[in-house]
Amino acid sequence: MTASTSDTRWLYAQPHDHRIARLAALAIVLAVVDAGIPSPLPGVKPGLANIVTLLALETLGWRAAVWVSLLRILGAGLLLGSLLTPGFFLGLAGGVASLAGLGLTRAWPKRWFGPVSASLVAAFCHIGGQLLLARAWLIPSDNILYFVPAFALAALLSGLVNGIFAGKLLEGSSCAPSTPSPSP
Amino acid sequence: MSRLIRPGDWLVLLGGAVLTGWLAWQLWGQGQARNVTIRAGGQRVASLSLLHNRLVPVQGPLGVTVVEIAGGKARIKQDPSPRQYCVHQGWLSRAGQVAICLPNATSIELTGPDQPYDSLNF
């Protein structure tokens, strides 16, 4: 069958897609900034981009958060040249585990649990996913357990700080879907 | 609803802190060793406190292995074994650490207040 003009398909980006793309772009910038911050232990990073994932979760829902997170991991991998390296897969494992954890926190009552809870759960899931993959694939030795408390402490601190940041930004509700955003 | 840190958040934070503390206690807190057990040919020769600095000669089939205890640590100071692995291991300070000299069949093992696990037979 030959291609003709009638076969042309147009894919229109909905406003929802624009919001996801905008958040993903923001997350990629933060991920690049994140990679530039020196860290005492490989794998310990503030995870600034997770703030954006939290914003997406609170304003657009879990599926949007999955999109933003995975787009950020892919985009940051492309920009940093780490695509398909062990570090990329560690980030992916942590990201997927985080999203699973965030999915769990969605069921918690909003009255009692806010973005700080979501951020902390996501941070601990992140190191959990990373460590599982590292233990199973990269460093198949129990010596890796020696670093676990340091990772857990980093998750506690970064989870708390990122959660407070996300909460502050949500209070301003500058990125709530109800407010019309200026077109680029 | 609009409060930045809600009651449940404190609970989650506390849970995370407890988890971190528990992990650190479990994985790092196995602490300093108290005693060293010296073996030769599978037989226990001596079990000594690490608090007293001393040199302990142990007789093996090849010759004398010298164990040094100093400052809460222990090491194989001298050994007639050809490859000197146990000497190169240097100072041992944590409970559960082991240095084995082959073929002189001598070894030292550090033990603490509670033994975490036997790293050789686990």
- Under DSSP, the state recorded for B105 is T
B27: pLDDT strictly greater than 90: no
**Looking at this predicted complex, what is its ipTM?**
0.85
Higher pLDDT, B30 or A117: A117
CA A23 – CA A50 distance, rounded (Å): 11
Q: Across chain B, what does the average pLDDT equal?
A: 85
Query: What are the domain boundaries of chain B?
Result: 1-30, 35-111
The architecture (CATH level 2) of A16-172 comes to Orthogonal Bundle (1.10)
Burial group, residue A157, by CB count within 10 angstroms (0-12, 13-18, 19+): middle
Of A58-62, A137-141, B3-7, where does mean pLDDT reach its minimum?
A: A137-141
CA A157 – CA A105 distance, rounded (Å): 19
Higher pLDDT, A170 or B122: A170
CA A136 – CA A45 distance, rounded (Å): 22
B57: pLDDT strictly greater than 90: yes
A179: pLDDT strictly greater than 90: no
**Chain A contact probe: residue of B1, B3, B9 with most A CBs at under 10 A:** B9
> How confident is the model at residue A182, as a pLDDT?
47
Tell me the nearest-neighbour CA distance from B28 into chain A, angstroms. 7
> How confident is the model at residue B8, as a pLDDT?
92
A106: pLDDT strictly greater than 80: yes
Q: Which residue has the tokens 């509670």?
A: B114
* Interacting residues of A117 by C-beta distance below 8 A, sequence separation 6+: A105, A108, A163, B6, B8, B9, B12
Query: What are the domain boundaries of chain A?
Result: 16-172
pTM of the model: 0.70
**CATH homologous superfamily for B35-111?**
N-utilization substance G protein NusG, insert domain (2.60.320.10)
Measured between beta carbons, the chain B residues lying within 8 angstroms of A113 are: 6, 8-9, 12
Tell me the average pLDDT across A90-109: 95
CB–CB contact A116 B9 (8 Å): yes
A11-58 pLDDT, tens digit per residue, is 899 999 999 999 999 999 999 999 988 888 877 889 999 999 999 999
Burial group, residue A25, by CB count within 10 angstroms (0-12, 13-18, 19+): middle
- CA dihedral in degrees (A74, A76, A78, A83; nearest 10)? -70
Tell me the nearest-neighbour CA distance from A158 into chain B, angstroms. 12
B101 HSE (CA, 13 A, CB side): 32
> How confident is the model at residue B117, as a pLDDT?
56
Tell me the average pLDDT across A64-78: 96
CB–CB contact A171 B9 (8 Å): no
CA A125 – CA B12 distance, rounded (Å): 13
Tell me the two tokens of residue A183: 């077109």
A93: pLDDT strictly greater than 90: yes
Tell me the nearest-neighbour CA distance from B33 into chain A, angstroms. 17
Higher pLDDT, A180 or A153: A153
CB–CB contact B8 A117 (8 Å): yes
Three-class secondary structure assignment of chain A = CCCCHHHCCCCCCCHHHHHHHHHHHHHHHHHHHHHHCCCCCCCCCCCCHHHHHHHHHHHHCHHHHHHHHHHHHHHHHHHHCCCCCHHHHHHHHHHHHHHHHHHHHCCCCCCCCCHHHHHHHHHHHHHHHHHHHHHHHHCCCHHHHHHHHHHHHHHHHHHHHHHHHHHHHHHHCCCCCCCCCCCC
Of A39-48, A64-73, B24-33, B59-68, where does mean pLDDT reach its minimum?
A: B24-33
Q: Which residue has the tokens 């933060």?
A: A30
CB–CB contact A113 B13 (8 Å): no
pLDDT cut 70: percent of chain A above it: 90
A interface toward B at CB cutoff 8 Å?
A: 108-114, 116-117, 120-121, 124, 145-146, 148-149, 152-153, 155-156, 159-160, 163-164, 167-168, 171
SS3 category, B33:
coil
Polymer length of chain A: 184
Contact A45, A161 (CB under 8 A): no
B29: pLDDT strictly greater than 80: no
A180: pLDDT strictly greater than 60: no
Q: How does residue B114 score in pLDDT terms, banded at 50, 70 and 90?
A: low
Of A13-22, A136-145, B9-18, where does mean pLDDT reach its minimum?
A: A136-145
